[in-house]
Amino acid sequence: MITVSDTRTAGTDTSGRAIADLLAQGGHRVAGRALVRDEPTQVEAAIRRFSADPDVQVIILTGGTGISRRDGTYETISRLMEKRLDGFGELFRMLSYQEIGPAAMLSRACAGTLQGRIVVSLPGSENAVRVAMTKLLLPELGHLVREVGR
């Protein structure tokens, strides 16, 4: 699990903590966590480090999915993904729209595959993380892992 932020610390990373807690509650093990600045080289290095670990089946990132000058997670992940799961971002924005209205269009949340792993990029908002995890990821995580491993 990777938190991408220029301002968060291990103590203030509520989104990362929510992801880890929700995964644990769902019976999943968190193999590791990282906190990196919103710098393409740092984000890519963290993704590559997790994708090299044979115990990691899913890499979840939080942060850097907006459209501000510093938000570069989407560009970094897009370059690395082998297959895209466009439906994830579409469904996430639909669910977000129901909660926050048209501001949902600013999110570039996305998912795909990389080296036999699922990679998911979520916004930095704790509420957005909870929506994505409870309504999309946790119900399908086992299926996603099985399919990418076939």
| Sign of the Cα pseudo-torsion (38, 41, 42, 47, in order) | positive
The domains located in the chain, with CATH, are 2-148 (3.40.980.10)
Rounded Cα distance between 59 and 48, Å, is 10
The pLDDT value recorded for residue 116 is 96
The pLDDT value recorded for residue 145 is 97
pLDDT tens-place string over residues 84-113: 999 999 999 999 999 999 999 999 999 999
Q: Is the pTM of this model over 0.75?
A: yes
The pLDDT value recorded for residue 69 is 92
pLDDT tens-place string over residues 48-63: 999 999 999 999 999 9
The pLDDT value recorded for residue 58 is 98
Give the CA angle between residues 105, 72, 53 to the nearest 5°: 110
Biggest alpha carbon–alpha carbon distance for the chain: 40
